[in-house]
């Protein structure tokens, strides 16, 4: 019922907005363009409409919440491989920190590994493995958080030392491997579908980059489940 009323209101408001814009565009006021723009900028509905016309920029989650969660976990695994590549090439702490910061923030905010583990734990099979599975999942999230914290607070300036490299690498590997353990208790068909989505999106991104002058910038990693 609430939904029906709000849809109705939405339609009324959109009609009102369009009528106003149309009326203004028909007047001969020299400032009518400004006026139209002001209305459009000031109206949240217009924002919604603008967003609706740009589907390519919007993130569309999988309608199946478990598959979505498995997709995000697979993206975390991919990210650990990408980050390890940075770590292996690094020679200066501050350069590495800058490179890792952006991706790690994305991983933290968008993939929310701990939330995914908590959510997907409901689907662990067999249920007798619940403790093993969630332990693996939480250790994975902990290792990732540890790597993030290390990059944030222990990387400073000066040469990137061997023990630092070993530390971050071991946390990233631990995150990925413990996540594999957790994922082994997930429905295989959904996991496969989630991984396929990662693969397909990467191919689509690569094709997009091929026509771009910055093509060399895009350098995907071998997805970790590919060589197991
Ligand atoms: C991070 O790596 C260090 C060094 O190998 C290890 O001692 C520590 O237990 C790891 N932390 C987590 C949470 O895996």
pLDDT at residue 64 above 50? Answer: yes
> Stretch 152-161: mean pLDDT, rounded?
96
How do the domains of the chain map onto residue ranges? 1-54, 64-196
The string of pLDDT tens digits covering residues 103-154 is 888 899 999 999 999 999 999 999 999 999 999 999 999 999 999 999 999 9
**Ligand 1 centre and the CA of 148: distance in Å?**
12
User: What's the pTM value of the predicted model, to 2 decimals?
Assistant: 0.74
Residue of the nearest CA to atom 12 in ligand 1? 143
Judged by average pLDDT, the poorest of 28-32, 58-62, 99-103 is: 28-32
The string of pLDDT tens digits covering residues 3-16 is 455 555 555 555 65
Whole-number pLDDT of residue 1: 43
Contact 221, 88 (CB under 8 A): no
Whole-number pLDDT of residue 140: 98
Testing ligand 1's pocket by substitution, the residue of 147, 167, 172, 181 carrying the most ligand atoms inside 8 A of its CB is 167
Whole-number pLDDT of residue 57: 53
The string of pLDDT tens digits covering residues 171-207 is 999 999 999 999 999 999 999 999 999 999 999 888 8
- The CATH number for 64-196, chosen from 3.40.50.2300, 1.20.120.660, 1.10.10.10, 3.30.450.40, is 1.20.120.660
Instruction: Provide the pLDDT confidence category of residue 17 given band limits of 50, 70 and 90.
Output: low
Ligand 1 atom showing the smallest separation from residue 146 Cα: 13
Residue of the nearest CA to atom 7 in ligand 1? 167
Closest by Cα among 170, 173, 157, 166 to 97: 157
Residues with CB under 6 A from ligand 1: 142-143, 146, 167, 170-171, 174
10: CB partners within 8 A, 6+ apart = 45
Average pLDDT of the chain? 83
Whole-number pLDDT of residue 2: 46
> Stretch 11-31: mean pLDDT, rounded?
56
**Ligand 1 centre and the CA of 58: distance in Å?**
37
83: CB partners within 8 A, 6+ apart = 100, 103, 104, 147, 168, 172
């Amino acid at each position: 019922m609430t939904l029906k009323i709000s849809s109705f209101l939405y339609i009324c408001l959109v009609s009102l907005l369009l009528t106003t814009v149309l009326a203004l565009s028909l007047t001969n006021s020299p400032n009518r363009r400004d006026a139209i723009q002001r209305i459009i900028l000031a109206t949240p509905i217009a924002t919604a409409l603008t967003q609706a016309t740009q589907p390519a920029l919007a993130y569309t989650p999988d309608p199946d919440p478990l598959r979505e969660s498995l997709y995000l976990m697979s993206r975390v695994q991919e990210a650990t491989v990408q980050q390890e590549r940075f770590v292996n090439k690094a020679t200066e702490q501050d350069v590495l920190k800058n490179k890792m910061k952006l991706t790690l923030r994305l991983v933290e905010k968008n993939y929310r590994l701990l939330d995914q583990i908590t959510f997907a734990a409901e689907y662990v099979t067999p249920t007798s493995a619940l403790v093993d599975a969630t332990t693996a999942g939480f250790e994975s999230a902990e290792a990732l958080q540890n790597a993030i914290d290390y990059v944030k607070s222990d990387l400073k300036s000066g040469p990137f030392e061997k023990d630092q490299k070993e530390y971050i690498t071991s946390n990233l590997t631990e995150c990925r491997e413990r996540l594999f353990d957790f994922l082994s208790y997930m429905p295989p068909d959904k996991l496969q579908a989630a991984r396929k989505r990662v693969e397909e999106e990467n191919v689509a991104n690569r094709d997009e980059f091929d026509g771009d002058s910055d093509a060399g910038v895009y350098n995907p990693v071998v997805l970790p489940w590919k060589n197991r």
